[in-house]
Each structure stands twice: as C-alpha cells, then as structure tokens.
Amino acid sequence: MAAGRLRHHTSDDALPRAWFAQRMDALARSLLGRRVRSSVRDSVVVGRIVETEAYLGPEDPASHAATAGGVTDRNRLMFGSAGLAYVYRIYGMHWCLNVVGGREAEVGAVLIRGLEIVEGADVAAARRGRTDHLADGPGKLCQALGVTGDLHGHDLSAAPLQIAAGSPVADDRVRRTGRVGIRSAVSWPLRYLLIDSPGVSRARVHPGDPTSLPEPFRVTGSARGGTLTSHEPG
C-alpha cells in the first residue's frame, strides 16, 4: 500500500530527528527500550526494541555503504540525514527495518533485530499468521508492523512509523555481542540485546572481539564498546 494512503496516528513522545544523530554504536545501544509505533493501514502495533545491530560506513565490509562505487541508489540514505527509515529486502522475501544514524559526515545505520510487542498483538498475529514469535527477528518484526519498502526514506519522527521515547534500559540488562547473519566482520561486537527478552532473535550468540573494530570505535563504556558480559539471552 502506498504511503500516501495511510492514515496518520502521531505519537506525542516520538523522538525528534536530531536524537538519531549519534555515532552508530551509541545509537544501537540507545535504541534499546525505545518503542516502534506503526499505524500502517490504520492498525496500531507497538513494539519495545530489545535487539539492535550497528552497521558503519565504507570502513565496514558488512555494510551496504562499503561499495566500490561509493554512494549508490541503494545505499544513498546511509550517507544522508539521521532519523530516516532505511528499508530493504533480503533473500527476495523479507523486509528489514534500519534507522539511519550518525553525526555530521558520519555514515551508517542500525538494524532493528528484535521487538517485544506491547500493543496490537492481535494485529501482529494476524499479519504473521501465528500467535508466538511475533517479532523476534528483523523479517518477523517488519511483517508484524506492516513495514515494507513503501516506508524506505520515511521520517521516523512522524506517523505511520515512529520511534518513541519508551523506557531506558540499565547497563546490567544489556549484552553486547558479535554480529550475526553476515559473512564479513562478524567479530565486530556491534549487536546489542536485552538479556532474557523473548523478543531477541534466536541467532547464535558469540562474544565478538572489540580489538577487531576500527580504531575510533575501540573505546570503553556501555554505549561505545565496554566489557562484554557473560549472560546468555532468553
């Protein structure tokens, strides 16, 4: 359905575009506990973000931004303003929702990998054709939210797809791991997840290696590196 045919339901606590202008690893951590609110096709579904994965600019071999041709029609949004939805299809069948981030001149996006549905579970279940595992994976959550390529480039501070304030997540509830579902730079610990959340994808967990990151990202702290915990996700 074309975006112009969607009825808008705007959330007053939607995060402003400027909020997303963070370095990609910091944004991936900051997004945990925030809420994605979809009013696609006039049906409201809200999910709490419990898993994210950061992708950097041209220096990241797993990123769409790392192309020989530089800026392309596919990756153009990653080189632009923060706070837009970067939506693409994988395996020819599943949509993935990413958030463009970065401060001035920084390039990249954060993949939303897992949600806990907190409102509109009946709508999400109807879209998914099941009542369990509604959003524990990037393709699943797009189906539950009704996200398709029509929302590529959408301003995430506005309906019908917004990211709202939600609730902060304490550092001791977060695990940082290596990335999954890719072939390059899998050791880069840029995946962030909420420990024991049922909304975390069932991908294999591996710790990753902070020393493998590009030099600017080898820093300490919960949002930009830091100690990897020994906890396993639920």
197 inside domain: no
> What is the total count of domains within the chain?
1
Q: Which residues pair with 49 in a beta bridge?
A: 115
12 inside domain: yes
167 inside domain: yes
The boundaries of the domain holding residue 154 are 3-172
| pLDDT score of 230 | 30
Q: What is the CATH number of the domain that holds 87?
A: 3.10.300.10
139 inside domain: yes
147 inside domain: yes
Q: Which residues pair with 164 in a beta bridge?
A: 14, 35
**In the block, which residue shows the tokens 């949600």?**
115
233 inside domain: no
Q: What is the pLDDT of residues 130-170, one digit of tens each?
A: 999 999 999 999 999 999 999 999 999 999 999 999 998 99
| pLDDT score of 78 | 87
Q: What is the pTM for the complete model shown? A: 0.88
Cα–Cα distance, 90 to 122 (Å, whole number): 26
Q: What is the pLDDT of residues 128-141, one digit of tens each?
A: 999 999 999 999 99
Q: What is the pLDDT of residues 13-26, one digit of tens each?
A: 999 999 999 999 99
210 inside domain: no
What stretches of 56-100 adopt beta strand conformation (E)?
A: 85-90, 94-100
Q: Which burial class, exposed, middle or buried, applies to 92 when counting CB atoms under 10 A from its CB (0-12, 13-18, 19+)? A: exposed
Please list, in sequence order, all residues whose beta carbon lies within 8 angstroms of the beta carbon of residue 56, skipping any fewer than 6 positions away. Answer: 24, 63, 65, 107, 108, 190, 214, 217
Average pLDDT, stretch 23-49? Answer: 97
Average pLDDT, stretch 212-233? Answer: 54
Q: Which burial class, exposed, middle or buried, applies to 176 when counting CB atoms under 10 A from its CB (0-12, 13-18, 19+)? A: buried
212 inside domain: no
Q: What is the pLDDT of residues 73-122, one digit of tens each?
A: 788 888 899 999 999 998 878 999 999 999 988 999 999 999 999 999 99
Determine the Cα angle at 110 with ends 109 and 115, to 5°.
Answer: 150
Confidence of residue 43 (pLDDT cuts 50, 70, 90): very high
Confidence of residue 5 (pLDDT cuts 50, 70, 90): very low
Q: What is the pLDDT of residues 155-208, one digit of tens each?
A: 999 999 999 999 989 999 999 999 998 888 999 999 999 999 999 999 888 889
